[in-house]
Amino acid sequence: VPRHQRGREAFQEVDYRTTFSDLAKWVTEVDDPARLPEVVARAFSVALSGRPGPVVVALPEDMLREQAAAASAPKVAKVRNAPPPDAMADLAGRLASARRPLVIVGGSGWTDDGIAYLAAFAHAQGLPVACAFRRQDLFDNRHPHYVGDVGLGINPALKDRIARADLILAVGTRLGEIVTGGYQHLTPPVPDQTLVHVHADAAELGKVYTPALAIQADPNVFALSAAELPAADRARWADWLLAARADYEAWQQPVEPIGPVDLTTIVKWMSGTLPEDAIIANGAGNFTIWLHRFFQYKRPRTQIAPTSGAMGYGVPAAIAAKLACPDRLVVSWIGDGCFLMTGQELATAVRHKANVIFVVVNNGIYGTIRMHQERSYPGRVIATDLANPDFMALAQAYGAAAHRVTRTGEFAPAFEAAARADRPSLIEIVIPAEELSPTMKLQPQGK
């Protein structure tokens, strides 16, 4: 609002600092246009430093009409902290005495080089690597050292392996609620496992867990330093690594569906058919667990997913990805409830020719909430049934192509047709409400 109207509850007036204080790293309002270069430079510096995050800069309406002479601010360079040599020597010593090590990699800010150095480090040391929640594209899932994702629907064998590890090397990840299974995989404040925590932001080190060794470093620079460490005696945990990989491969075995559509087979088909650089943008809900478990991510920046658990994310994220990378195949994997929150953005996709393939998994319910209801309060279901539109007709109304899948064998032809289309396409997969997750299924109604 204009500066002279602030504090009067003017039309659309918002206290930006109060509204965004818990959602952004820094919130400010500029009163003088001459200070904009200074404020914007600081905004980029704050956004990029430490744990990356958003910054909000509010501009009063009347100030937008003012002019000021100001030099262009230089490009802000991200500061990349290097790990201290003594910390790397300490890490090498801890690896030398370990018997059951496990790497958990996550977080943001990774580069292609950093990811390559991480893989080289894991290979040279013979280390099993697990990826944090919705960060599975940080390590090639086909690599013999990849042992699974530490997120929703975690492999019970991997959960047990985390508990039995004698050294956890957490790189880039905050070790938040999902990654730690509600802070139970590792017990705060001092885990039973020896914890080495590497993070770019000092404020994240020791926030919940007190590590045996804390290393404040950019993950990419750390990975380079780690790749240069002398190789430990990997024979000591060779069986540990092989067993961890075997657990992951066993977790990849098909899960029997309760209806005519097998999501396991569909996701595995996508994993084996899509180009390695295809981008998968998913929303939030139980339908994502099939993707986490059965899709193998092969290259960096191919998984875009809401680590905050925000429903509705998959549609706009996929459109943005397609506009940024028009030559790459982009798939939006979304649930029916998730799609209903942002599905109107099909209009944006059609208008800007962002030819995303939107795959809507339609089970007619809010699956995650229903799962909690059925698991904790059987028979006491409330407010999770959806009154869905005809998704094919809705997509066609926006000008997108549309397909409906009611049997497993119908998916591949529908997807291939969507990939050939010269416009966005929607594929609706119809599954029963009882298909809550790969591991939790209810008895179909009436049986």
pLDDT under 50: residue ranges of the chain? 446-447
Question: What is the per-residue pLDDT across 49-83, written as a single tens digit (0 to 9) for each?
Answer: 989 999 999 999 999 999 988 887 778 888 889 99
Question: What is the per-residue pLDDT across 81-98, written as a single tens digit (0 to 9) for each?
Answer: 999 999 999 999 999 999
pLDDT computed for residue 76 by the predictor: 85
pLDDT computed for residue 164 by the predictor: 97
Model confidence, pTM: 0.94
Cis peptide, bond prior to residue 189, ω within 30 of zero: yes
CA distances from 42 to 25, 61, 77, 436 (A): 12, 21, 11, 46
- Phi and psi dihedrals of 403, rounded to 5? -140, 150
CA proximity to 330, closest of 306, 353, 358: 358
CA proximity to 325, closest of 291, 354, 357: 354
pLDDT computed for residue 261 by the predictor: 97
- In which order are the strands placed within the sheet that holds 146-150? 146-150, 129-132, 101-105, 167-171, 194-199, 213-216
- Phi and psi dihedrals of 292, rounded to 5? -60, -40
pLDDT computed for residue 163 by the predictor: 97
Q: How far apart are the first and last CA of the chain?
A: 60
pLDDT computed for residue 445 by the predictor: 59
pLDDT computed for residue 447 by the predictor: 44
